[in-house]
Amino acid sequence: MAQLSSVYRRLEEGSKRLTPQRELIIKLFLERPGQHLSAEEVHQLVKNEFRDIGMATVYRTLEMLTQLDVLQQIHFNDGRARYEINLETTNVHRHHHMVCLRCGRVEEFQEDLLEQLEDRVLKDRGFRVVDHELKFYGTCRQCERKQGGRS
């Protein structure tokens, strides 16, 4: 897994140690490139392989990995932070999200039609964009089929 060694290198550069707990957490995210896990979910998943890991360690590791730009923190307006792996750290522009209002599932899409908008904003308002975040809220295919589009 090519990504793994690059993450390890980042740890070293920050003089961070690669403990079993941290390794498990990192692998968790690398194995699930499209997922957005909460701290609680990470804790549950890691516990399968490392019984005694504490929530504090999970939070501290997630914080550290976010600082190192290995993870990215996201909020979906449900009051808890979620994390996803940042596969293209060098690329500040990331993919976007579709949040299903029925089942809560979060899908993603890769699309970048926003450059022109960013240019406009810089010209008109003097705001220099370094990152953007786009979320669509609606109904996913499954829920759409199930209920024909109405709540």
Residues in touch with its own copies (CB under 8 A) = 73-75, 77, 79, 81, 98, 100-101, 107, 109, 111, 113-114, 116-118, 120-121, 125-141, 144, 149
Q: How far is the CB of 143 from its own copies (least distance, A)?
A: 9
41/47 Cα distance (integer angstroms): 10
103 binds, among DNA, its own copies, none (CB under 5 to 8 A by kind): none
Contact between 80 and DNA by CB under 7 A: the answer reads yes
Smaller CB separation from its own copies, 32 or 109: 109
Longest C-alpha distance within the chain, in Å? 55
43 binds, among its own copies, DNA, none (CB under 5 to 8 A by kind): none
144 binds, among DNA, its own copies, none (CB under 5 to 8 A by kind): its own copies
Q: What distances in angstroms separate CA 70 from CA 27, 45, 52, 101, 151, one per listed residue?
A: 12, 19, 24, 28, 38
